[in-house]
Amino acid sequence: MATVQLFCLPYSGASAMVFSRWRRHLPQWLQVQPVEIPGRGARLGEALQTDMPALARQLALEILPALKTPYALFGHSLGALLAFEIAHVLRELGAPPPVSLFASGTAAPSMRDDYARGFADPKTDAQLKAELRDLNGTPQEVLDNEELMALTLPVLRADFRLCGLYQRRQRPLLSCPIHVLGGKDDKATQEQLIAWQQESDANFSLEMLPGRHFFIHDHEGMVLRILRSNLEVDLHRQRGQRRAALAG
């Protein structure tokens, strides 16, 4: 099996290192590459971003030199939009298409009006904490830790603006398969998730998992099996298409 690099984009308020544990549970041919966003984790000293096209271009330019093997993109929530935008920028830069694009836990680019309403509105610290509590992915002891919240809330505020200000642009469709994951009890509806199929002229799949917004952690094993099985199929298909193109 050829080595595949899986570039992983985090959700709002998170560091990409939330994906580092996946390395222990995926086969050696599938190499997890967390993509850190400025303003958090190892890039804590860098300015936070609220311009999605500019951020996607910055990250795509950082990823581009590493594309020595087949690659895929995975993003959850905010990360799904970023992965989608990065795929477009990489194409503009002349990079080969990803084997697969995995969009998890958020409405499609064409369905943002209802889903993201209010995300860009100014929010107090108390309102942001309430959002975190409602998403049910942050332990109460973290919410009560003023030092941690002082680091987290500015990141979350900037990330919510990234989501709230996002505008879909008219561009040629992507040529890679798009695989969408959703939580059965999450905010994103099946209609909003299915609309991701409008963004590519290749294969599409939708998997609905038990749980709310953080189903990727609550049902990690299921998520990783979905990633692995789809990548195996898509990698085989991509290699077949390349052989056919060379033969033709």
Residue type at position 137: G
Beta partners for residue 183, in sequence order = 209
Percentage of residues in the chain with pLDDT exceeding 70?
97
pTM over 0.85: yes
* Whether the predicted pLDDT of 248 surpasses 70: no
Show Cβ contacts of residue 246 under 8 Å, excluding neighbours closer than 6 positions: none
Show Cβ contacts of residue 84 under 8 Å, excluding neighbours closer than 6 positions: 73, 75, 101, 103, 109, 174, 199
Query: Residue 239 — very low, low, confident or very high, per pLDDT cuts 50/70/90?
Result: confident
Beta partners for residue 127, in sequence order = none
Please say if 77 is a catalytic residue.
Answer: yes
Is 19 domain-assigned? no
Is 20 domain-assigned? no
- Mean pLDDT over all residues of the chain? 93
Q: Are 214 and 135 in contact (CB under 8 A)?
A: yes
Residue 200's domain is classified under what CATH number?
Answer: 3.40.50.1820
pLDDT of residue 119: 85
Is 21 domain-assigned? no
Start-to-end CA span in the chain (Å):
25
pLDDT of residue 114: 86
pLDDT of residue 116: 82
* Whether the predicted pLDDT of 181 surpasses 90: yes
Q: Are 137 and 165 in contact (CB under 8 A)?
A: no
Range of the domain at 188: 4-13+27-247
Write out the H or E segment, with its range, that includes residue 72: strand 71-76
Is 22 domain-assigned? no
Q: How many domains does the chain have?
A: 1
Helix axes 52-63, 78-92, angle to 10 degrees: 60
**What is the C-alpha separation between 24 and 116, in angstroms, rounded?**
34
Closest CA to 59 of 31, 77, 39, 30: 39
* Whether the predicted pLDDT of 246 surpasses 80: no
Is 171 domain-assigned? yes
Q: Are 74 and 102 in contact (CB under 8 A)?
A: yes
Is 18 domain-assigned? no
pLDDT of residue 141: 85
Q: pLDDT tens digits, residue range 38-69? A: 999 999 999 999 999 999 999 999 999 999 88
Q: What is the mean pLDDT of residues 1-12?
A: 93
Q: What is the mean pLDDT of residues 168-172?
A: 95
pLDDT of residue 6: 98
pLDDT of residue 245: 66
Q: Which of 77, 100, 104, 200 is catalytic?
A: 77
* Whether the predicted pLDDT of 78 surpasses 90: yes
Show Cβ contacts of residue 163 under 8 Å, excluding neighbours closer than 6 positions: 12, 77, 78, 81, 106, 116, 119, 120
For the record, the structure tokens of 61 come out as 């330019």
Is 34 domain-assigned? yes
Query: Residue 247 — very low, low, confident or very high, per pLDDT cuts 50/70/90?
Result: low
pLDDT of residue 28: 95
Is 31 domain-assigned? yes
Q: pLDDT tens digits, residue range 93-150? A: 999 999 999 999 999 999 999 888 888 888 899 998 888 888 777 888 888 898 888 8
* Whether the predicted pLDDT of 153 surpasses 80: yes
pLDDT of residue 223: 98
